[in-house]
Structure 1
C-alpha cells in the first residue's frame, strides 16, 4: 500500500463548488481506498491505495466527483515520497520565513522554464519563483493575496491541459506529515 495525498483544485471557495469533506471521505472509501482522511476544507485528502498510480488515481477520483456532485473538479494525486521531496527541495529558507510567504504550486505534468519565459523576474523582486519537478516554488514576502508575481505566474503560456493547484507552506508540510508511513 502506498499513501497519497489528493489535491483538489478550486472547491469550497467563496461559497462555490461546495464539497463537504465528510462526503469526500465517504466517496473515496467507496472507491476502495483505506485510511481516508481530509485536511482543511480547501481540498486535501490523504489515503492509502494498493492499486493504480498517481495519474490513474487522480482520473478515477475526478470521474467519481463529477458523477457524485455534478461538477468537474481537477485533482492531482501525489505520493508521500514525492511530497517529501518537494518539501526538502525548497530553494527558499522556508524554516526562517512565515508560512504565508512560501507556496508550492503542484502541476499535473512537468513544466519547463519556457512556460514562464515572458515573466521578468527582476520586475517582481523581492518576490521570486523557482521550478522543481512538477512543482513551482513561490516566495511572496507580503503573502499570496498581494503577490503580483503570483498573478503573473497563474497565466503562463502553453499550459493547456495542465492542472495546477497551490498550497501554502504549512499545508505542504502537513501533507508530508499526514502521508508519512505509520509505525
Structure 2
C-alpha cells in the first residue's frame, strides 16, 4: 500500500459544487481506498491504495465524483515524494524577505507544453512574484490571493493544464499528514 494525497479542484468554493467531507470520504472508501482522511473543506484527501499510476488514480476518483455528485471535478494525485519535491523547489519560500502568509502553490495536473510566459507576467502586480515549473506554479501575493490576477483559472487557461491552488501553510500541513500516513503504514 502507498499513501497518496489527492487535491480536488474547485469544490466548496463560493457555495458551488458542494461536497461534504463525510460524503467524499465515503466515496473514497467505495473505491476500496484505505485510511481515508480529509483535511479542511476544500478537497484535500489522504488515502492509501495499492501502488498505481497517479494519473489513473486521479481519473478513477474524478469519474466516481461525477457519477455520485453530477459534476466534473479535476483531481491531482501526488505521493509524499512528489509533494516534498514541490515544496523543496519553492524558491519563493526560501526568500526571507517574503512573508510565508502570502505564498501559494498552484499544482499542475500535467506538464505545460507551450505557453506565453510574457502574457502571464503582463498581469502580475509589481509586488507579486511567480515561478513556473513543470509540476507547480509558486506565487507570492502580498495583496492577498483574492486580489491577484494570477489566480487558478487564469493559470489553467494560460498554461493549458488542469490546476488547483493551496496556500503555503496548507501545503506544508498536507506533507506532514501525508508523511505521517506513510509512516503509519510502514509500522502496521
Q: In the alignment, does 2:177 pair up with 1:178?
A: yes
Q: Tell me what 1:130 maps to.
A: 131
The root-mean-square deviation of aligned C-alpha atoms, in Å, is: 2.3
Q: Which of the pair is proportionally richer in helix?
A: 2
- What is the TM-score normalised by the length of structure 2? 0.86
Q: Tell me what 2:68 maps to.
A: 68
Which shows bigger deviation, 140-149 or 29-38?
A: 140-149
CA distance in structure 2 between the partners assigned to 1:16 and 1:76 by the alignment: 20
Contact 1:55 1:77 in 2 (8 A): yes
Q: Tell me what 2:111 maps to.
A: 110
Q: Which runs of 5+ in 1 are unaligned?
A: none
Q: Tell me what 1:120 maps to.
A: 121
Q: Tell me what 2:93 maps to.
A: 93
Change (3 A) 1:163 1:151: closer
Aligned 1:40-59 pairs, distance under 5 A:
40-59=40-59
The residue matched to 1:114 in structure 2 has which SS?
Answer: coil
Question: How far off is 1:99 after superposition?
Answer: 4.0
Q: Tell me what 2:9 maps to.
A: 9
Question: How far off is 1:24 after superposition?
Answer: 0.7
Contact 2:38 2:44 in 1 (8 A): yes
Aligned length: 181
The residue matched to 1:130 in structure 2 has which SS?
Answer: strand
Q: Which runs of 5+ in 2 are unaligned?
A: none
Question: How far off is 1:122 after superposition?
Answer: 9.3
Change (3 A) 1:74 1:152: closer
Change (3 A) 1:84 1:151: closer
User: For residues 41-61 of structure 1, what are the alpha-carbon distances to aligned partners after superposition, in whole Å with 9 as ceiling and x for unaligned?
Assistant: 111000111142110000000
CA distance in structure 1 between the partners assigned to 2:101 and 2:114 by the alignment: 24
Question: How far off is 1:117 after superposition?
Answer: 3.0
CA distance in structure 1 between the partners assigned to 2:154 and 2:14 by the alignment: 22
CA distance in structure 2 between the partners assigned to 1:121 and 1:25 by the alignment: 41
- What is the TM-score normalised by the length of structure 1? 0.88
